[in-house]
Amino acid sequence: MGRFSGFLVTARQMFKPRLTTEYPEQVREYPARRHGRHVLNRYEDGMEKCIGCELCAGICPARCIYVRGADNPPDDPVSPGERYGFVYEINYLRCIHCDLCVEACPTEAITETKLFEFSWNNRNDSIYTKDQLLVDDDGHPRKQPWEAWAPGQDENLSEWVRATSPSGMAEYEGRVSWSGDLGHGVRDPGPTQAELDGREEID
Amino acid sequence: MTTGQAQTDTELVTLTIDGREVQARKGELLIKVAQENGVYIPRFCWHERMEPVGMCRMCLVQVDGMRGFPPACTTPVAEGMVAHTDTEPVKKIQDGVLEFLLINHPLDCPVCDRGGECPLQDQTLAFGPGESRFTEEKRHFEKPIPLSGLVLLDRERCIQCGRCTRFAEEIAGDPLIDFGERSDRMQVVTFPDEPFSSYFSGNTVQICPVGALLSKPYRFKARPWDLSTSETTCTTCAVGCRGALQSSSNRLLRLLGVDLDAVNQGWLCDKGRYGYEWVHADERVLEPSVRVRNAMVDVSWPEALEAVANELQRAIELHGPSSVAVLGGARGSNEDAYAWVRLAKGVIGTDNVDAQLGDGLPADAVLGLPRAEIDDLDQAAAIVLLGPDLKEELPVLYLRVKQAAVSKKVPLLDLAPVDVGLTPYATAVSRTVPGEEGVAAERLVAAIGGRASGDAGIDAFAAAATGRSGPVVVVLGRGSVAQSAAPTMRAAAAFAALPNVRFLSALRRGNVHGALDLGLAPGFLPGRVTLDAGRGWFAPIWQTVPKERGLDAEGILRAAADGKVRVLVLLGADPVADFPDTDLARRAIDGAGYVVAVDAFLSESTRRADAFLPCTVWGEKAGTTTNLEGRVQRLGRKVSPEGTTMDDWRIAGELAVRLGNDFDLEFVDEVTDEIATVAPAHAGARSQLLRRSRDGVVLPVREHLHEIMVRTGDLNIMAEDGPAVSWDPIRVDAAEPSEEGDAAHEVDEARGEAERLEREAPAHHEWDRAANVGDAPGRDAYALRLVSGRELYDGGRITTCSPSLAPLRKDSALMVHPQDLARIGVEEGTQVRVTSSRATVTLPVRTHPSVPAGTARLPFTADGRGASELIDTTTMVTDLRVETIS
Q: Identify the CATH number of the domain defined by range B1-103.
A: 3.10.20.740
Provide the CATH number for the domain formed by B299-360+508-551+558-616+626-681 in this structure.
3.40.50.740
| B228 and chain A in contact, CB less than 8 A | no
Asked whether B807 and B839 are in contact (CB, 8 A), the reply is: no
State whether A71 and B226 contact (CB < 8 Å): no
Q: How many angstroms separate the CA atoms of B211 and B153, rounded?
A: 8
Using a CB–CB cutoff of 8 Å, tell me whether B192 touches chain A: no
Residue B250 touches partner A, C-beta closer than 8 Å: no
Residue B756 and residue A9: Cα distance in Å, rounded?
Answer: 91
Which residue, among B341, B787, B743, has the nearest Cα to B521 in the 3D structure?
A: B341
pLDDT > 80? residue A193: no
Alpha-carbon span B225 to B222, nearest angstrom: 8
Residue B26: count of CB within 10 angstroms of its CB: 15
Domain ranges of chain A: 31-148
- Which residues from chain B sit within 8 angstroms of residue A83, using beta carbons? 111, 220
What residues of chain A lie within 8 A of the CB of B118, using their CB? none
User: Mind listing the pLDDT tens digit for each residue in A31-62?
Assistant: 777 888 999 999 999 999 999 999 999 999 99
The predicted structure's pLDDT at residue A183: 87
Q: CB of A54 within 8 A of CB of A111?
A: no
Which among A51, A68, A71 is the nearest to B110, CB-wise? A51
Under an 8 A CB cutoff, do A69 and B220 touch?
Answer: yes
Q: Is B143 on the interface with A (CB under 8 A)?
A: yes
For residue A3, pLDDT beyond 50: yes
Residues of A engaging B, defined by a Cβ cutoff of 8 Å? 51-55, 57-58, 68-71, 81-83, 106-107
Radius of gyration over every alpha carbon of chain A, rounded to an integer in angstroms: 21
In A, which residues are within 8 Å of B111 by CB distance? 51-53, 69, 81-83
Residue of A nearest to B115 (CA): A53
* Beta strand pairing call for B428-429 and B855-857: unpaired
pLDDT, averaged per 10 consecutive residues of chain B (886 residues), comes to 46 93 93 92 94 93 93 94 94 94 91 91 88 87 91 94 94 93 88 90 95 94 90 95 94 94 95 94 94 93 96 95 95 95 95 93 91 94 94 95 95 92 93 86 89 87 90 93 88 89 94 96 94 92 92 95 95 91 92 95 91 96 95 95 94 96 94 94 92 92 88 75 69 78 79 88 81 57 84 87 89 87 86 88 87 89 72 86 84
Identify which of A58, A69, A82 has the shortest CB distance to residue B225: A58
ipTM of the complex as predicted = 0.85
Instruction: Note whether B131 contacts A: Cβ–Cβ < 8 A.
Output: no
What confidence tens digit (pLDDT) does each residue in A82-141 have?
999 999 999 999 999 998 999 899 898 999 888 888 888 889 999 999 999 999 999 999
| Contact with chain A for residue B225, Cβ under 8 A | yes
| Inter-chain touch A55–B110, beta carbons under 8 Å | yes
B331 neighbors B510 (Cβ within 8 angstroms): yes
- In chain B, the residue whose alpha carbon lies closest to the alpha carbon of A53 is B110
Mutate to test the interface with A, among B220, B247, B251 (most CBs of A within 10 A): B220
B108/A contact by beta carbon, under 8 A: yes
Q: Are strands B831-835 and B840-847 parallel, antiparallel or unpaired?
A: antiparallel
The separation between the first and the last C-alpha atoms of chain A, rounded to the nearest angstrom, is: 56
Residues from chain B that touch A70, judged by Cβ atoms under 8 A, are: 220
| DSSP letter string, B382-406 | EEEEESS-HHHHSHHHHHHHHHHHH
User: If you write DSSP's letter for every residue of B281-344 in order, what string do you get?
Assistant: -TT---S-EEEETTEEEE--HHHHHHHHHHHHHHHHHHH-GGGEEEEE-TTS-HHHHHHHHIII
The reply to whether residue B226 touches residue A54, judged by beta carbons under 8 angstroms, is yes
Question: Which CATH number is A31-148's, of 3.20.20.70, 3.90.660.10, 3.40.50.300, 3.30.70.3270?
Answer: 3.30.70.3270
According to the model, what pLDDT value does residue B781 have? 64
Residue B107: predicted pLDDT: 87
CATH of domain B134-220: 3.30.70.20
User: What pTM, to 2 d.p., does this model score?
Assistant: 0.92
Query: Is A53's CB within 8 Å of B223's CB?
Result: yes
Q: Do B223 and A68 touch (CB under 8 A)?
A: no
- B116 CB neighbours in chain A (<8 A) are 58
Burial class (CB in 10 A: 0-12, 13-18, 19+), B739: exposed
Mark yes or no for CB contact A54/B143 under 8 Å.
no
Distance in Å from the first CA to the final CA of chain B: 59
Distance from CA of A67 to the nearest CA of B (A): 9
Smallest CA–CA distance from A69 into chain B, residue: B220
Contact A83 B226 (CB under 8 A): no
Report the residue from B111, B144, B221 with minimal CB separation from A53.
B111
Could you tell me which residues come within 8 angstroms of residue B422 by beta carbon, excluding any fewer than 6 positions away?
B385, B389, B390, B391, B398, B401, B402, B405, B412, B414, B416
Residue spans per domain, chain B:
1-103, 134-220, 227-280, 299-360+508-551+558-616+626-681, 368-506, 684-760, 784-884
Residue of B nearest to A86 (CA): B220
Nearest to A51 among B111, B221, B225 (CB): B111
Phi and psi at residue B847, to the nearest 5°: -95, 150
Omega of the bond leading into B700 within 30 degrees of 0 (cis): yes
Q: Which CATH number fits domain B368-506: 3.40.630.10, 3.40.228.10, 3.40.50.300, 3.90.1300.10?
A: 3.40.228.10
Which residue out of A48, A56, A68, A89 would a mutagenesis test of the B interface target, given it has the greatest number of B Cβ atoms within 10 Å? A68
Residue B42 identity (one-letter amino acid):
P
pLDDT digits (tens, 9 = 90+) for A136-182: 999 999 999 999 888 877 877 777 666 655 555 667 777 787 888 89
Domain range B784-884, CATH class: mainly beta
* Beta carbons of A53 and B219 less than 8 Å apart: no
Show residues of chain A in contact with B144, CB under 8 Å: 82
Strand partners, B472: B382, B501
Q: Is B226 on the interface with A (CB under 8 A)?
A: yes
Q: Which fold has domain B227-280?
A: N-terminal domain of TfIIb (2.20.25)
* Dist CA B271 CA B280 (whole Å): 16
Q: Does position A188 have pLDDT exceeding 90, yes or no? A: no
pLDDT of res. B5: 43
Residues of B in contact with A82 (CB under 8 A): 111, 143-144, 220
A203 — pLDDT class (breaks 50, 70, 90): very low
> In the prediction, which pLDDT does B503 show?
95
B91 lies within 8 A of chain A by CB:
no
How far is the CA of B404 from the CAs of A139, B8, B214, B240, B395, in angstroms? 65, 17, 30, 19, 14
Of residues A54, A70, A106, nearest to B223 (C-beta): A54
- Determine if residue A154 is left, alpha or beta; phi over 0 gives left, psi from -120 to 50 gives alpha, anything else beta: alpha
Alpha helices in B3-63 (DSSP H): 30-36
Residues of chain B with C-beta less than 8 angstroms from the C-beta of A81: 108, 111
CB contact under 8 A, B220 and A107: no
Residue B111 and residue A83: Cβ atoms within 8 Å? yes
Q: Which residue does chain B place closest to A79, by CA atoms?
A: B111
**Cβ <8 Å between A107 and B143:** no
Are A71 and B220 in contact (CB < 8 Å)? yes
Torsion over CA of B296, B301, B302 and B306, rounded to 10 degrees?
50
Q: What is the pLDDT of residue B70?
A: 95
